[in-house]
Amino acid sequence: MNGNRVYNFNAGPAALPLEVLEEIKDSFLNYAGSGMSIIEISHRSKWFDDIINDAVARTKQLLKLDDKFKVLFIQGGASMQFCMIPMNFLRDGETADYVNTGTWSTKAIKEAQILGKTINVAASSEDRNFSYIPKEIRFNPDAVFAHITSNNTIKGTQFASFPETNGLPLIGDMSSDIMSRPFDVDKFGLIYAGAQKNIGPAGVCMVIIREDMLKKIPDELPSMLKYTTYADKNSMYNTPPCFAVYTIQLVLKWLQETIGGLDKMDAINRKQAKTLYDAFDSSDFYQGTAEPDSRSLMNVTFRLPDEDLERRFIEEAAENGFGGLKGHRSVGGCRASIYNATTMAAVEALADFMKSFEQKNG
């Protein structure tokens, strides 16, 4: 425990920086002298305009995006992107390449197929229970785009670098690692990320889209399901999720001003992940489930010798102030999600707890 707050290892919604929560608390009843709460002001007000524009500007600064990229905020979570992407970019007779690296990629493929689109699985790690990231992926040059999940939240694997697409626009589901490290955005035609893992609360998905992609979108789609609607109206065609966007703005400000940008964030994230992976590598008691060269810096997945010990581990951890260590219900085991807001103190406390649990039970 850390005061009255647990060490939060939830997978999403997940930990947010304490400084951000305190700032929200301070301005909750009277936002910026408006005499109204942030959840009471109009999305057509100058106050909200400044918030959304600042969130966009900070996203562009942090990711070094030039003017050919637009930053949008869309409701419906990352899961709605699974259908919007094929609706907007795949016409009859066209195909797209998807890399299947786990539960979320599988869902993305399924949603495109529900729409009757032709999907080619360019590579998959299903043969070893999604425990690794496929290497040397060859994309079909006739595909319209290539889709990857940069970090596999449930299986605990992550692309260390992004595959060469030879000019195909890459589309990335970065829900669980956006803003965790710098990367080269130039290959990407579209990036999307449900906010509730690394950049804010639930209720909004950040979408970064390149101009040439916007030009391919047919007119005859429902307004709420086409990216052009959001791009033309600065994400305010209808009422946006104001509170979620406000929180994102504060998290991005924290990333820039308190952490010092994505290079610094990356160094911290690597150090934290190494602390936990070193704990497995020096023990026969804990077994990592991801192959070492594919390990995620965000979601550390592991097993204990049997399920009974896993249950006790999670229980005793909870009694000692560690929250969220149960693996996803579809895979079992344990998972520590160590997103940007997780502190080194929390990670070190967990590594110590793991050691003492092993001493008692190993």
Catalytic residue among 197, 254, 266, 326: 197
Which is nearer to ligand PLP, 341 or 354 (by Cβ)?
341
66 annotated active-site: no
Which is nearer to ligand PLP, 189 or 194 (by Cβ)?
194
What angle in degrees, to the nearest 10, is found between the helix axes of 77-89 and 103-114?
40
For the chain, where are the E strands, in sequence order?
7-8, 69-74, 95-100, 118-124, 146-149, 151-152, 157-158, 170-173, 188-194, 205-210, 287-288, 299-303, 322-323, 334-337
According to the annotation, is 78 in a ligand binding site? yes
- Least distance from ligand PLP to the Cβ atom of residue 207, Å: 12
Binding site for ligand PLP (CB under 6 A): 12, 77-79, 104, 149, 153, 173, 175-176, 194, 197
142 annotated active-site: no
- Least distance from ligand PLP to the Cβ atom of residue 2, Å: 25
* Whole-angstrom distance, CA of residue 53 vs CA of residue 267: 28
According to the annotation, is 79 in a ligand binding site? yes
Catalytic residue among 47, 70, 97, 104: 104
Q: And the tokens for 294?
A: 């594919």
Residue 259 is given by DSSP the state I
In the chain, the N- to C-terminal Cα span, in Å, equals 25
- Least distance from ligand PLP to the Cβ atom of residue 296, Å: 11
- Least distance from ligand PLP to the Cβ atom of residue 153, Å: 3
- Least distance from ligand PLP to the Cβ atom of residue 25, Å: 25
According to the annotation, is 278 in a ligand binding site? no
* Whole-angstrom distance, CA of residue 267 vs CA of residue 31: 34
Which is nearer to ligand PLP, 156 or 169 (by Cβ)?
156
Catalytic residue among 47, 155, 173, 266: 173
* Whole-angstrom distance, CA of residue 97 vs CA of residue 79: 18
Shortest-Cβ-distance residue relative to ligand PLP = 77
CA torsion 279-281-282-286 (nearest 10°) is 70
47 annotated active-site: no
* Whole-angstrom distance, CA of residue 34 vs CA of residue 303: 51
According to the annotation, is 335 in a ligand binding site? no
According to the annotation, is 44 in a ligand binding site? yes
Strands 151-152 and 157-158, sheet pairing: antiparallel
According to the annotation, is 254 in a ligand binding site? no
Residue list for the binding site for L-glutamate: 44
Residue list for the binding site for pyridoxal 5'-phosphate: 78-79, 104, 153, 173, 196, 238-239
Active site residues: 104, 173, 197
